[in-house]
Each structure stands twice: as C-alpha cells, then as structure tokens.
Amino acid sequence: MKRASVAALLVLIAIPLLAAMAELPPHGSSETPAYTHVSERYLQRGAQEAGAENIVTDVILNYRGFDTNGEVTVIFTSVVAVAAILLLRDEERTSQERSSTPVSPVLLFIVRTMAPFIALFGMYVILFGHLSPGGGFQGGTILGALVIVSTVVLGPDVAHRMVPAPARPWLQAAAPLTFVTVGLAGLAVTGHYLGFPSGDEWGWVGTLMLVVIEIGIGVGGGTIMASIFWMMEEER
C-alpha cells in the first residue's frame, strides 16, 4: 500500500515534469536561447578576454568566478559539518586498539611505486586546467585519493605527514581563502572583486591568477577529502 502510494506520487510528479521537458527548446540545437544569448559571447570572446584557452575554465573562474567562490565554500562547509558532528563522538568513545589488517607486499610495492606518479598527474591536471580539460577540482580529487590510498595501505602515520596537523585547518580553507585573496588582488589591480586583468600586456597576470586559484582549489579539495576520510575512519 505504502509502496503503491509512493509510486503514484512519483508518477504524479513525473507527468508534468516530462510534459514540460518535451516543450523545452530542443537540447543541442544551436538555435536555442541557451546557445544564442550569454554563452555565445563566452564562446566567441572567452579565450581573448578571460585569460584561459579552456572556455569552461573561463566561465567557472572568471565570468562566473563568484559562483565558484561560493561552491568551494560549500565544500569547506561539508568538512566543518563532518568535524562538528563527529568530534564529540571521539571523546565519548572509549579508546580501543584498532586491529590493523596486514597489507600484502604486492599492494605495498604498487602503491609506493605509483604514488609519485599519481601526485605528478594530480599536479598536472591542476596546473593545465586553463588549457585542457581538468583543473583544481579534478586534480584535487586525484591528490585527495592519493592521501586516502596511502592511509589505507601505508598506514595513517605516513599519510598524516603528507598534510601536517598544524597546517591542516589552513589547508582545508585553502580554496575559499585563495579565492578571497585573488579576488581582493583583482580589486586592487582592476577595480573589481575577482577582476582579472586582460589584454596583451597584462594578460599573463590574469592567467597567473587563474592558475593560483586552481592550485588553491586543488590543495583545499584534496585536504578536505582526506580529512573527511580520516574523521570517518576514526568514527568506524
């Protein structure tokens, strides 16, 4: 009965949604408003005026950079939320020895060999985000995954050294902080918060600022992923 009513409700919501989707301007057609209004300018002039060859990077970091400033704050909020909820449990719990499973030497060897390459690839993705697909979010995920793999295989002691404890709260906030710093620098240089200088003479400064933001997002995102993993690991 309950299942039937839930199904009925879902169908009831789906019908108008599907009907509306059917009447939306056809997806992918170059005639629709989504392609002829704002995004047209992004595609035509983005590479010249916004500082990066990759138009997606232009939009998320420059034209709509403030949205991304907010989004990295959402990601930061998630780590603070996890910390605020899990930390009390930490005190309540009676300290018990965590039984460590022995790690296979094959796995240990592979992770040790691969780790520098994974780190290098993560940095590559971060630094070339303004030219090719990728960027801070993607590269940061790779770095974060590396720290998590190290935690599991090499042990928490080794992994914790990758993100030193005193710097951890700063590194977690790295993405929003870099945004604010670069935003204020942009204010000083161009007269607008998150303004990036452009043109032949100053274009490289704008590109540099984009790269700095990408690094901030990467470092912050990676740290946040690893921190959340560690907190949930302790909770287990």
Partner 1 sequence: MLLWPHWLALVVVVPLAGSVVTPAVARGSGRVAGRWAIGVMTVTFAIAITLVLRVAQTGPFSYWFGGWEPPYGIEFRFDEFSAFSAVIAFIGLLAVIFSQRYAEQALSPKRIPYYYCLLMLNLTGMIGFTVTGDLFNTYVFMEILSLSGYALVAVSGEKTAEMAAFKYLVLGAVSSLFVLLSIGMLYALTGSLNMADVSARLTAGVPKLPLIVALAAMTLGYMVKAAVFPLHIWLPDAHAIAPSPVSAVLSGLVVKMGVFGMLRMYQIVYRADVVDLSVLNTVLVWLGAISIVMGAFFAIFQDDIKMMLAYSTISNVGYIVMGLGLASQYSLIGASVHVFNHALIKSTLFLAAGAIIHRTGYRTLTDLRGVGHGMPLTGGAMAIGAISIVGIPPTAGFLCKWYIALGAFQAGRPFFGFALVFGALFIFIYYIRMVNAFYFQEPVHPEVARIGEAPVSMLAPMLILAALCLVMGILGRIPLSFIEPAVTRMLATIGG
- What does the binding site for partner 1 look like in residue numbers (CB under 8 A)? 16-17, 19-21, 23-25, 27, 32-39, 41-42, 62-67, 69-71, 73-74, 76-78, 80-81, 83-85, 87-88, 90-91, 169-170, 172-173, 176-177, 180, 183-184, 186-187, 190-196
Structure token digits, residue 233: 């690991």
Distances (CA, A) of 82 to 11, 85, 88, 133, 162: 35, 5, 11, 30, 21
Q: CA–CA distance from 230 to each of 87, 143, 169, 211, 233 (Å)? A: 12, 15, 14, 28, 5
Q: Which is nearer to partner 1, 142 or 173 (CB)?
A: 173
Shortest approach of partner 1 to residue 211 CB, angstroms? 17
Say which amino acid occupies 34: A
How many helices, marked H, and strands, marked E, lie in the chain?
A: 11, 0
Nearer to partner 1, 59 or 142 (CB): 59
**Mutual angle of helices 105-127 and 203-235, in 10-degree steps:** 150
Q: How many residues does the chain have?
A: 236
Question: Which of 3/37 has CB closer to partner 1?
Answer: 37
Among residues 20 and 106, whose Cβ is nearest to partner 1? 20
Nearer to partner 1, 81 or 103 (CB): 81
Least distance (Å) between residue 133 CB and partner 1: 22
Shortest distance in whole angstroms from residue 103 CB to partner 1:
31
Tell me whether residue 76 or residue 128 sits nearer to partner 1 (CB atom). 76
Handedness of CA 170, 174, 180, 183 (dihedral sign): positive
CB of 225 to partner 1, least distance (A): 16
Closest separation in Å from C-beta 155 to partner 1: 24
Shortest Cβ 90–partner 1 spacing (Å):
7
Give the Cα separation of 43 and 30 in Å (integer).
Answer: 12
Residue closest to 160 by CA, chosen among 102, 227, 81: 227
Residues 6+ apart with CB under 8 A from 132: 54
